[in-house]
Structure 1
Amino acid sequence: MYITITPQKLGTHFNQSSQDFVNYLEKENEERTLENFEYFFNQTENDIKPDRVVAEIDSNTAKLKRNEPRFYSITVNPSERELQHLKNHPEALKQYTRELMQDYVKAFNREINGRPIRVEDIKYFAKIEYTRRFKGTDREVIGNQPIATKIQTLKDEVYRIQTGTTTGNLKALHDKIKCLELEAPHQLNGKRIVQGMEKPGPQSHIHIIVSRKDQSNSISLSPGSKYKASEVEFNGKQIKRGFDRDYFFSQAEKTFDRLFNYERNFMEHYTSRRDFVKDTSQFYKNLLKLPYPERTAAFKLMREAGIKLPPTVPVNQVQLAYKAFNALKRGVGIAVKSSSISI
């Protein structure tokens, strides 16, 4: 489970409207018939149309300055293994989203009228997307780039011949291009993987637009706060502040596991990814403490994620060689970056 929380920006400035973001989330509907449209939902409603989302998010911005985010985007990315466990069922994803947003409000160290924040206090809209496309930062696209460069050079030469600016053998050039296409190391259904190509397998994920202000449009709730839990004096009163991301990300996994009886592997835990980034020594110790079957499963998940493990890694021994672990660290680091794991 990979979850990111980001304020929506246009370049260096915060978006003043949610219109562009909502339009972006409508891209899958462009390929659907009206009766098969995927609509937004919130905690209590389904089939919410995009114009209502824009209207309610954009009007819920009282007293916010231009340099403050109007809304945040939460992206929930279940892993392929988690989606297979759910059989990629949309109703299960909606159920999980609604439970997740209860974890979200509990992560705030804030009160409304002397009580903890409840999910009814926030304004959010969510939408399920079912496909993903390869980006320029994906390892498959990067791995194919040397071939792509050669192909583009040949295509440029073909264009010059076709426009009469030079002469040459078009058939020979087209034959070279076909050969290069087959040489690309990353293929999908017999075709070279390129940016924009649809990814295979279950790719369902959830986009959530959550307003910076609460339902009353009077209280600011920022999940981007650098404080986990503290108090500050404001107008002579002690005000609680902060958002505990560690709690939110960890609880998100526990909620999924509880709802769907899911058995989470060591490498799927947020705490494992966090320790890898912030406390490599602790990650190393925890990895070595795993029973042999779990440790083997952890390495299997790494390989499935495309992490190149050194062939000398002794997964059935008590200790890993330091050199081998450094190679493993580099591989996991690439995976963490490419997966946009928010920590």
Structure 2
Amino acid sequence: MYIAITRQQLGDNFRGSVSDFVNYLEKENEGKSIEEQEFYFNQGENNIETERVIAEIDTNTSKLGKRDPKFYSMVISPSQRELKHIGNSPEKLKQYTRELMKAYAASFYRDREVTVKDILYFAKLERERSFSESDREVRGNQPYASQILELKHRIWSVERGERQGNIKELEEKIWTLERGAPHQQNGKRIVPGMAKDGHQSHIHIIISRKDVTNTHSLSPGSKFRSSETTLNGKKEKQGFDRDSFYRAAERAFDSKFGYRRNFVETYHARNLLDKDPKRFFTLLLGLPTHEKQAARQLLFKAGIKVPTIPVNKVQLAYKALIQLRKGIGKAMESGSIGI
């Protein structure tokens, strides 16, 4: 499970409206009939129109400064293994989103209890994902992409009469490179922007910075229990426990759908990878045989080679450790594995 929370990106004009982001999320509805389109939902409602989303988020900004983010966006991106487990069911993803938002609310550190009823949010299901420049397939094809672009430039120069050359021979070289690229999908070289095969359903959530009463600020960007702030002469607790949220989000999926999560899919593993990669590697190689085999298979599918070093006899090679960490980090960024 890959979950990312980001603040509203404000440009030089500090435009506060959510409309651009909402319109961007309409891309999959283009050209579809009303029956085929996906609408927004929240904790208790379905089929919410975009106009309502924009109006409620844009007007729920009391006492926020010009440069303050007015909303946060969250992406819930299950791995293909998780999607397969739930049959890629839109309804189950929506159920999970509502459970996850309960965990989101509970992760705020405040003087009073924060519940999901305090959160103003709208969520939307998308069924497609595209390859990005961070995906290992795109990076693996990059040398071929560079050569193909150079050959195309040469063809254009010949066509404009700026240089001599045989266009047919150049086109044949391009064809050979296209076929020779190591990462293909349906017989075509994988490039940024190409839609990914398989189950790719994910959820986008727009969350207001202010609570439903437009009174209290609920920012997931503040550090957990980092400080107390003074408001109108009174000290108030503030903060958001991201660790608690991510762990609760993982537990919610596993318990709700009976999912058996492998070590390399866990948030605990991700934390170890960031803070103590040697410990991560040691635990990975020390898993029971069947779990270790499953872990290796998951990592292999993500394009990561795991050295078979007997940790009880020799120290882990520093270079191998760094390569493993780098590879898994890239896989996590692109959503190739669910941690």
Please state which band the TM-score falls in when normalised by the shorter chain: over 0.9
81-90 vs 323-332, greater mean Cα deviation: 323-332
Aligned 8 A contact 2:247 2:267 in 1: yes
| Cα shift at 1:13 | 7.3
* SS of residue in 1 equivalent to 2:173: helix
Compute the TM-score of the two structures, normalised by the length of structure 1.
0.91
Aligned 8 A contact 1:14 1:70 in 2: no
* SS of residue in 1 equivalent to 2:303: coil
Once residues 295 and 342 of structure 1 are traced to their aligned partners in structure 2, the CA distance between those partners, rounded to angstroms, is 16
Partner residue, 2:72: 72
Go from structure 1 to structure 2 and tell me whether the alpha carbon gap of 1:20 and 1:342 turns closer, same or farther (over 3 Å shift): farther
Partner residue, 1:158: 155
198-207 vs 298-307, greater mean Cα deviation: 298-307
Aligned 8 A contact 1:13 1:67 in 2: no
Aligned 8 A contact 2:106 2:115 in 1: yes
Aligned 8 A contact 1:96 1:256 in 2: yes
Matched, 1:147 2:141: no
Q: Which of 122, 127, 131 does residue 125 from structure 1 map onto? A: 122
Aligned 8 A contact 1:147 1:181 in 2: yes
Once residues 301 and 15 of structure 1 are traced to their aligned partners in structure 2, the CA distance between those partners, rounded to angstroms, is 42
* SS of residue in 1 equivalent to 2:121: strand
Matched, 1:2 2:2: yes
Partner amino acid, structure 1, of 2:158:
I
Partner residue, 1:322: 316
Once residues 93 and 232 of structure 1 are traced to their aligned partners in structure 2, the CA distance between those partners, rounded to angstroms, is 37
Output one character per residue of 1:227-254: Cα deviation in whole Å (capped at 9) or x when no partner: 3465444333331211000000000000
| Cα shift at 1:197 | 0.7
Partner residue, 1:103: 103
After TM superposition, list the pairs within 5 Å mapping 1:261-280 onto structure 2: 261-280=258-277
Matched, 1:50 2:50: yes
Q: Which of 318, 328, 332 does residue 332 from structure 1 map onto? A: 328
* SS of residue in 2 equivalent to 1:208: strand
Compute the TM-score of the two structures, normalised by the length of structure 2.
0.92
Go from structure 1 to structure 2 and tell me whether the alpha carbon gap of 1:58 and 1:38 turns closer, same or farther (over 3 Å shift): same
| Cα shift at 1:220 | 0.4
Once residues 216 and 253 of structure 2 are traced to their aligned partners in structure 1, the CA distance between those partners, rounded to angstroms, is 29
* SS of residue in 1 equivalent to 2:144: helix
| Cα shift at 1:200 | 0.9
Once residues 67 and 268 of structure 2 are traced to their aligned partners in structure 1, the CA distance between those partners, rounded to angstroms, is 33
Partner residue, 1:94: 94
Once residues 244 and 269 of structure 2 are traced to their aligned partners in structure 1, the CA distance between those partners, rounded to angstroms, is 14
136-145 vs 318-327, greater mean Cα deviation: 318-327
Aligned residues: 337
What are structure 1's unaligned runs of at least 5 residues? none
RMSD of the TM alignment (CA)? 2.3
* SS of residue in 2 equivalent to 1:203: coil
Once residues 175 and 67 of structure 1 are traced to their aligned partners in structure 2, the CA distance between those partners, rounded to angstroms, is 54
* SS of residue in 1 equivalent to 2:236: strand
What are structure 2's unaligned runs of at least 5 residues? none
Matched, 1:306 2:300: no
Once residues 13 and 295 of structure 1 are traced to their aligned partners in structure 2, the CA distance between those partners, rounded to angstroms, is 52
| Cα shift at 1:319 | 6.0
Once residues 10 and 336 of structure 2 are traced to their aligned partners in structure 1, the CA distance between those partners, rounded to angstroms, is 19
Matched, 1:218 2:212: no
Aligned 8 A contact 1:309 1:327 in 2: no
* SS of residue in 1 equivalent to 2:72: strand
Partner amino acid, structure 2, of 1:302:
L
Go from structure 1 to structure 2 and tell me whether the alpha carbon gap of 1:2 and 1:110 turns closer, same or farther (over 3 Å shift): same
Partner residue, 1:29: 29
Once residues 340 and 303 of structure 1 are traced to their aligned partners in structure 2, the CA distance between those partners, rounded to angstroms, is 10
| Cα shift at 1:17 | 0.9
Percent sequence identity over aligned pairs: 53
Output one character per residue of 1:116-169: Cα deviation in whole Å (capped at 9) or x when no partner: 111111100000110011112222112211111111122122223333444432
Aligned 8 A contact 2:298 2:337 in 1: no
